Amino acid sequence: MTGITITQFIIEEQRQAKGATGEFTLLLNDIVTACKKISLAVNKGALLGTMGSLESENVQGEVQKQLDVITNDIFISSLEWSGHLAGMASEEMEEPYEIPARYPRGKYLILFDPLDGSSNVNVNISVGTIFSILRAPEGVTHPKVEDFMQPGTQQVCAGYALYGSSTMLVLTTGRGVNGFTLDREVGEFYLTHPNMTIPADTHEFAVNTSNQRHWEAPVQRYVEECLKGKEGPRGRDFNMRWVASMVAEVHRILIRGGLFMYPLDSNLKEKGGKLRIMYEANPMSMIVEQAGGASSTGRERILDIQPSSLHQRVPVILGSRNEVERLVAYHKA
């Protein structure tokens, strides 16, 4: 295997950043290591007997898979000791994770969903890890919940790992989006998808149509027009996809375009939406926007939202820019 490794790529990015100390680079390397470990745990799940569910629920009220807990522990143990973080927060934990006193503190905060799409592990569908990096407020070494409450525009970095037919890591530091594929024989990620971009137009959309009867009128209108195809007002046929794994859905959009929706509906209204802003919506929105796409709740840009709680939920509509803008316009009509 030849090419640029993720380590080389990150270091070269660091050299272009004025005043860089290397701390952020080392943090990213620790995240890469965590994703390698999780990839191994996911791929060996059935062999190790870790594919089942537990009797416990996470803070979201969702039944935890064994791999939810295992991958959460992997992420924590891979990062807590490094000295680059002031604090950590996980979708699987109600409160932020306190860095043990025996370890030094750094200037960054990380939020993560250790195993997105874990309901799919038993049927061997792609799952992933999502992460978001923020700067800790100046002088804060023991962050509280409010220190994590930063809008998505404040993210220093966002990324995800996809555990599918191959393991990939997709990353943005605000300078475009790049994808890396794990060579298992070498144990290293190589740059395979440089400068990933999302086409502005698409003929694919992804939505869980079992919720159709609960959708608001703008989403009903959009999907109905797509399904009417060439004979309808859009004048062309659309394909519908649904994997029920946000990482897999967003990755497909980065590769060939498309629209992903988990819109507000009458069942979700009291919760505010389905997806968590801090662990899913913000990092994925940063990636999508950096690739030339757009991301919205239907009413506002997701990255502009001021979070109000650690596990806040929001509606999500993201992907090819022209389709997102059309759906936003329907909400305003």
Annotated binding site for substrate: 116-119, 208, 274
Question: Reduced to 3 states, what is the DSSP secondary structure of residue 2?
Answer: coil
Contact 260, 318 (CB under 8 A): yes
**Residue 143 and residue 261: Cα distance in Å, rounded?**
33
Query: Which residues on neighbouring strands pair with residue 89, listed in sequence order?
Result: 111
**Residue 107 and residue 91: Cα distance in Å, rounded?**
21
Residue type, 268: L
Element (H, E) at 223: helix 217-227
Residues in the chain: 333
Known binding-site positions for Mg(2+): 91, 113, 115-116, 280
The CA-CA-CA angle for residues 151, 16, 20, to 5°, reads 65
Question: Reduced to 3 states, what is the DSSP secondary structure of residue 261?
Answer: strand
Give the CA dihedral 194, 195, 198, 200, nearest 10 degrees.
-140
Instruction: State the maximum Cα–Cα separation within the chain, in Å, rounded to a whole number.
Output: 66
Tell me how far CA of residue 246 lies from CA of 51, 143, 331, in angstroms.
Answer: 20, 28, 23
Q: Can you list the positions of beta strands (E) in 186-246?
A: 188-193, 204-206, 239-241
Known binding-site positions: 91, 113, 115-119, 208, 274, 280
**Residue 298 and residue 304: Cα distance in Å, rounded?**
13
Burial class (CB in 10 A: 0-12, 13-18, 19+), 153: middle
Contact 198, 252 (CB under 8 A): no
